[in-house]
Structures are given as C-alpha cells and as structure tokens.
Structure 1
C-alpha cells in the first residue's frame, strides 16, 4: 500500500522489455502515478518517444519532463507530487516540526559542513561529539563540539592553513543555524584525533554521525 508512485524513466533510452514490465505493473493504479521523464538536457534524449510509450500504457498518469542534472522543471515535479499526495494526520502539535534535541541538530549541521568542506580528502572519516553548552542571559547559546578524526594528517586537513577550514565550517554552520533556531548560537569547534572512535562502543554512543 503506497500513497504515491514516482516513475523515473530515462529519455535517452528506447523503451524495452524492462519498461514494458514496469508499465504493466503500474497500470493497475494510474491515478497515484507521476512519470518523470529524465535527462531531457541530453542531446540523445527522445522525450516524445517516451511520451508515445507512456500515454497508451499509463493513460491518465501525470507526466513531467525534467533534467535532474540541470534542475529543469524540478519545481514543477514537486508541485505535481504535492498536489497528489494525501494529507496525513498530525502526529505532533503544529508548532513542533522535529523531535530531535537541539544539540543533536546542531551537531548534525556541524558534521555536514565539515564533510562538505573536506569531502575530497575525508569523505567518511569525520564524526562530531557534543561536549557542552550554556545559554547566556542575553539569549545566546554557546555550544562546544569536537570534530573527530582518526589521524594527525586528517586533523591538519580539517583545521586548514591558519585555521581557514575550521573557521569556514563554523561560519557556515552558524549561518544555517540562524534559519533553524529563534535564538543566536555561537559555536566553539575543536578537532580531536581518536584512532579508535569507529571501533569503540562508548565513543559511538556519544557521537553524532
């Protein structure tokens, strides 16, 4: 049982047995299907051929031609999906949009910025550990996190020349946190080498992945 089906089909590939089988399977419930014809930016794309294949087999299904790479018509696709998706029940009060603790969300954002700024050198070798936080009388929350790496060479990469990378991580995280919280957040970030953090149960229990 599903609320909605998004069928992504390649416009550069002529429909064959695989597409026939999928269309046959989906034809039983066309009113909950959106067909996204992808790769229309490719010179080899033949979206009209895909349309000719889809229309008689999934008559009534919504169709949107897109380019995921160029982001063409993605907003239109989202609008179609939202228009067809049923509204679910409220599981939380309207003013609550997450059940995650603030420090967890802050730590996740710090790790995201650390990975984005070092992904070429350290794609999966970074974790974040919460240390402490305190809120001042003026409403500013100060939060301290350790960025964990496994080797000294990785620590140097995260810190960057004259601290340039870790400064960028902090500034980008603080900028995004302004959009998430209704009070200012200031971060203190340190890089710590822990060769065994991936293999230590006690360390893993404290770490934000």
Structure 2
C-alpha cells in the first residue's frame, strides 16, 4: 500500500520507485510476507518526516515503531531476525560470512556501474561493458547452487535478483554464455514474493 506520509501501520518503508537498494528491502519484506506501508519518495525531494527520521535523508529507510534504520544491510538483517520465517541466511558462520562478503562486493563493484549506465553520457558504454564482464566472471557463483551461493533463497538473492531484473533496461545482453544467470533470475522472477516486491515503475522495466 503506497502512502504519502507515515500512517498508523507499525512498519513503514520509505522507498524510491526504482532503486536497487530499495527493491532489495522490498524483496526481503515480500519473502517474509510482512505487511507494511510503502511510502514512495522522490530522492531529490525528501519529505520533512524522512528528514526528521534519517539524518542522511537516504533511501531505503525503515521505521518500526520507535526504531528507524537506514543502512540497507542493517535493514535487511534486522528484518530477517525480526521476522524469522522463512530464514534468509544460512545457519553456519562460514556460509553467512561468504554471503555477506559477496553482497559487499556487489555493492562496491556492480552497483556503481549501474549508476554510471543510468546517468548516461560518455561513461555509460564503458560501465555497461564492465558490468557485463563482472557478471560473466561471477558465473561460478551462479552455478554453485540453486540460489546465489546457497541451496535456499538468502539475503544475497534479494540484492542480486534486482540487478538481474534490470539488465534489459540497462542494455546488457549476457548472450548464451550468461544463460545460468538468466535461468537463475527466471526462477525468482516467477515467485509470488518477487511479484509483490515490484513497484509499477520496476514492472515496466521488463517491457523496455
């Protein structure tokens, strides 16, 4: 449910209409089946209530009663612990550390390239080439298990899948070599939870 301001619902998410990190949190919430108020925000014009809640005015921002969280990784792990079923992280410390490290690398390596592509200009083509190369170099990670580095869906998938969803709109074709990545995406795209995570703007990206 989209609201223009905070309502009486306990859980509220301030989110951009089309943003990978915001989509990441919405996918966690959808996977958990959690009801919440979705407050769509123009990042260039943050509302006063967001300014009051978050000193950085960043998105996504999660409000749970008197608690406000605004680092995406912190938000996702909080939600996984706050709503433990289904769990979105493996039990053993080694697997958890591997997934966390993979998430950090995606944030540092893939997401800046997505931003360059969306900005357009002279940097876009080079960024598109680098992102394609980075995705293809990660093929062993997609082949290692049914989900990203894990036999079950995890918090890492909640970041990877929104990137894969946006590839057509970014002008990236992985070709035959990238079929394992495309197949991975399709497995998640057709889940009910994934459909619930999408805004109207994000649904339209696959029609481009």
Q: Give the structure with the larger strand fraction.
A: 1
TM-score, normalised to structure 1's length? 0.27
TM-score, normalised to structure 2's length? 0.27
Give the structure with higher Rg (CA).
1
Q: Give the structure with the larger helix fraction.
A: 2
